[in-house]
Amino acid sequence: MTLRLLPEPLVNRIAAGEVIERPAAAVKELVENSIDARAQHIDVVLRGGGRVLISVSDDGKGMSPDELTLAVERHATSKLPDDDLVNIRTLGFRGEALPSIGAVSRVCITSRADGESDAFSIKVDGGRKHMVMPAAHGKGTRVDVLDLFYATPARLKFLKTLKTEINHVADTLKRLSMAHPEIAFTLTDDDRTRFQYGRLEGNLLNMRLERLSGVMGKEFAENAVPVSSEREGLRLTGFAGVPTLNRGNARAQYLFVNGRPVQDRLLMGAVRGAYQDFLARNRHPMVALFLDIPRETVDVNVHPSKAEVRFRDAGLVRGIIVGGLRRALEAAGHRASTTVASAALGAFRSGPVHHADERHRLSRPLQSSGGGSAIHANSINEAMEVVDVPSAQEGAAVDITAEDSYPLGAARAQVHGTYIVAQTKKGIVIVDQHAAHERLVYERMKESLAEDGVKRQGLLIPEVVELEETAAERICAKADEFRELGLIIERFGTGAVVVREVPALLGQADISNLLKDLADEIEEFGADLALRERLEEICSTMACHGSVRAGRRLGAVEMNALLRAMEATPHSGQCNHGRPTYVELELTDIERLFGRR
């Protein structure tokens, strides 16, 4: 065997294997180049799902003939002017995309540099570079990729069906377009326009919501709350769907770091953590979150396709996402998704579903004095009892005609021992009493967890847990934080920890497993959130057991107290599994049902 340097075309083909795994990856690279070139319009055309042709045109700054020849060379980039890998401002920087694509297909790049009158083009054919030629072209650049992977038949075999590949391209382009509402995007495949997003101008928040509405659907825009959070130089913005607007998979979660779409485990985990006490395990929220973080604290150069990133302080990142999302959802109060009422109406009739105008409800302030006093409690146990037997008097006489009357109205009846029917100023509300009550108990428990700390329970015989030395160190470094959560631990020689007290909520938990999980999670996220989340999960189970069962008869006072408590309690629009706790039908909806409108 002879040791030798591989010839350039082969090197590029190997690189292409990493960077360009399917048509969508080529589209991503080309469109990112157009964005980096400050284009205002980007058009993507596919034939044969991208296998026959991918064409990306932009009106960006273009390339001169010299730049054209260099652009297709390996490691040629205009984006690292100071050799500074820390401060990366562009989407590209590796100088790999064009030579890689050129190595596995037939590429023709046509471009006219900004301010020039002549255009030029260059062809690369299976890695063979041709001469630059004069060409006819308007402003900007157009890259045509023909016969992708013809030079690497093995890769060709791994491509999925046409439809799957097109969907991947659409998803990729959508993600990029969400981060750039100021750019117009179109996707056409075999002469069919898949989507077309116009250029938006003005206030970033409005632009963004409008683009998100185009990409994720009007339903998302109508049922999302704005997220805005800042901490130690990190900024989280975007929109989060209310929990009752949920999906069976996590595909409607769009995450961006410094304007770059990412599919990152840490970020996805944080979103799950933030929603976990509103949603069942198999349901997923819809979110579009934009994290802006000092460039030196994130490494985007982890993966050739840059979909994964590495954070210097993963705990901080997770914290801002969980905290920011929870705060935003809290502000949504008792609001449930508009889709709930629409779905209810849809079940009644076959005609098209009209969305009720929900906006007035969203802006209504919560009535914190309502019946809240009936369920103020200090301890978890008290909370359960007090909510069970509301003593509020004000429930009996509820004036629903007043301008600022209670959003959930006055209880009129209990039906089937399960549902409360209330009359509001604009219509009726039907409340699932068990689901609503469960949520109230749970929120109360969490509140007392936050206010009074966690009740601890001493172990009769302290438990010694053997861990790896590094794990023991990590755990002990967090001893103070754990103490706040009711877990008292101490160092016990090398590689062991002694546990003296545990949170009472945990009951007879397997302590050694708990510590091992905690050590793993600290390593992964650098945070103690895991224990807090676990406690909240337990609260949720306990709340379910401590709640008003369906089937229990309630008096008018009790029913009204429940309604007032819901208004005063954040997150009361859905139960702990993401199901709605109430449905509102407006009179106009009811009139439509009866054909009066």
> Which residues bind to Mg ion, rule: CB under 5 A?
33, 92, 97
Report the nearest approach of ligand ADP to the CB of residue 63 (Å).
5
C-alpha angle 284-286-289 in degrees, rounded to nearest 5: 120
Nearer to ligand ADP, 83 or 451 (CB): 83
How far is Cα 328 from Cα 229, in angstroms, rounded to an integer? 9
φ/ψ of 535, rounded to 5, equals: -60, -40
Among 63, 176, 316, 387, binds ligand ADP (CB under 6 A): 63
Residue with tokens 């954070």: 311
Query: What is the total count of residues that contact ligand ADP (CB under 6 A)?
Result: 22
Binding-site partner at residue 79 among ligand ADP, Mg ion, none, CB < 5 to 8 Å by type: ligand ADP
How far is Cα 556 from Cα 278, in angstroms, rounded to an integer? 28
How far is Cα 503 from Cα 536, in angstroms, rounded to an integer? 12
Rg over CA atoms, the chain: 29
Is 55 a binding residue for ligand ADP by CB under 6 A? The answer is no
Binding-site partner at residue 94 among Mg ion, ligand ADP, none, CB < 5 to 8 Å by type: ligand ADP
Q: How many CA atoms lie within 13 A of 102 on its CB side?
A: 27
Nearer to ligand ADP, 144 or 584 (CB): 144
Is 60 a binding residue for ligand ADP by CB under 6 A? The answer is yes
Report the nearest approach of Mg ion to the CB of residue 572 (Å).
48
- The encoded tokens of residue 207 equal 């632009």
How far is Cα 424 from Cα 568, in angstroms, rounded to an integer? 16
φ/ψ of 397, rounded to 5, equals: -115, 100
Nearer to ligand ADP, 105 or 424 (CB): 105
Reported residue count of the chain is 597
Is 37 a binding residue for ligand ADP by CB under 6 A? The answer is yes
Nearer to ligand ADP, 34 or 276 (CB): 34
Helices (H), 261-379: 265-275, 314-331, 338-348, 359-363
Nearer to Mg ion, 75 or 251 (CB): 75
Is 176 a binding residue for ligand ADP by CB under 6 A? The answer is no
Report the nearest approach of ligand ADP to the CB of residue 94 (Å).
5
Mark residues 72-111: x for contact with ligand ADP by CB under 6 A, - for none.
----xxxx------------xxxxxxx-------------
Among 105, 141, 186, 540, binds ligand ADP (CB under 6 A): 141
- The encoded tokens of residue 293 equal 């973080």
Residues 328-347 that bind ligand ADP (CB under 6 A): none
Report the nearest approach of Mg ion to the CB of residue 29 (Å).
5
Q: How many CA atoms lie within 13 A of 122 on its CB side?
A: 24
- The encoded tokens of residue 551 equal 């089937």
How far is Cα 234 from Cα 560, in angstroms, rounded to an integer? 43
Among 71, 88, 224, 336, binds ligand ADP (CB under 6 A): 71
**What sign does the CA torsion over 264, 265, 267, 271 have?**
positive
- Name the residue with the smallest CB distance to Mg ion: 92
Nearer to ligand ADP, 61 or 284 (CB): 61
Is 58 a binding residue for ligand ADP by CB under 6 A? The answer is yes
Q: List residues near ligand ADP by CB under 6 A.
A: 29, 33-34, 37, 58, 60-63, 71, 76-79, 92-98, 141
